[in-house]
């Protein structure tokens, strides 16, 4: 139920060069779906990974640097997945847009600005920020993200399912959530295995003993 793509399809869908994607992954400037830091299988990506990457890209266009944008999308995956679910069932123009918003919030105690994420309809997001000093709020419409995904898919000749999500109460929802949990576990195991190999010190080569004279 979690639709997947091979690497070539994934990059075509994002209109992104392979080297650019690899560099962003290396620098922590890319986000995958479901809070994953690596895909569960080599060379295979979820369609939802493309949603995450497009969300990061659109936030970046609005002035959010790639690294904090990717961190926010990775951390708040449950929230924006719910936005996708709602947007797919309440399309424009008959329904209000749903937004993922990052804003710098000034702390009066420390004087420092930290990023805060809120999601929902435009007025709901502003209500959540009520009384706080905001710095450069970046609103991205989830409807726009999904619309751009469909446009990219047409140009890239990549087939997408009619819907990317299953809503609570719909047939298959519980199985879909179990599949998400299983996918996250596999992705986390692969990430930890990769990190362990990377951190393992190189084995010193055996010292050659001098030959004994007879």
Please state, in angstroms and rounded to a whole number, the distance separating the CA atoms of residues 48 and 55: 11
Rg (CA), the chain: 21
Closest Cα to residue 161, out of 49, 6, 32, 3? 3
Report the share of the chain in percent with pLDDT over 90.
Answer: 79
Q: What is the mean pLDDT of residues 55-66?
A: 96
170-210 residue pLDDT tens: 999 999 999 999 999 999 999 998 777 766 655 544 444 44
Write down the pTM of the prediction.
Answer: 0.88
Pairwise pLDDT comparison (7 vs 111), residue with the higher score = 7
Domain boundaries, the chain: 4-97+139-194
Report the share of the chain in percent with pLDDT over 70.
Answer: 90
Measured CA distances, 182 to 68, 178, 188 (Å) = 27, 6, 10
Please state, in angstroms and rounded to a whole number, the distance separating the CA atoms of residues 150 and 63: 24
98-116 residue pLDDT tens: 999 999 887 766 666 788 9
Please state, in angstroms and rounded to a whole number, the distance separating the CA atoms of residues 157 and 85: 24
Q: What is the pLDDT of residue 208?
A: 44
Average pLDDT of the chain to the nearest whole number: 90
Q: What is the pLDDT of residue 210?
A: 42
């Amino acid at each position: 139920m979690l639709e997947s793509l091979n690497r070539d399809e994934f990059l075509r869908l994002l209109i992104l060069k392979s080297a650019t994607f690899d560099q962003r992954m290396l620098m922590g400037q890319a986000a995958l779906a479901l809070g994953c830091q690596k895909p569960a299988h080599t060379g295979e990506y979820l369609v939802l990974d493309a949603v995450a990457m497009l969300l990061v890209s659109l936030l970046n266009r609005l002035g959010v640097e790639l690294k904090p944008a990717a961190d926010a999308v990775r951390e708040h995956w449950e929230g924006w997945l719910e936005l996708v679910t709602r947007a797919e069932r309440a399309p424009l123009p008959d329904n209000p847009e749903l937004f993922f918003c990052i804003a710098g919030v000034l702390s009066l105690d420390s004087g420092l600005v930290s990023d805060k994420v809120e999601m929902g309809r435009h007025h709901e997001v502003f209500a959540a920020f009520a009384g706080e000093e905001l710095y450069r709020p970046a609103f991205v419409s989830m409807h726009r993200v999904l619309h751009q995904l469909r446009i990219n898919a047409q140009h890239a000749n990549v087939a997408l399912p009619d819907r990317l999500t299953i809503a609570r109460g719909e047939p298959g929802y519980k199985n879909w959530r179990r599949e998400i949990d299983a996918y996250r576990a596999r992705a986390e195991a692969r990430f930890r295995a990769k990190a362990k190999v990377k951190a393992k010190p190189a084995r010193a080569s055996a010292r050659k003993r001098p030959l004994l004279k007879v």
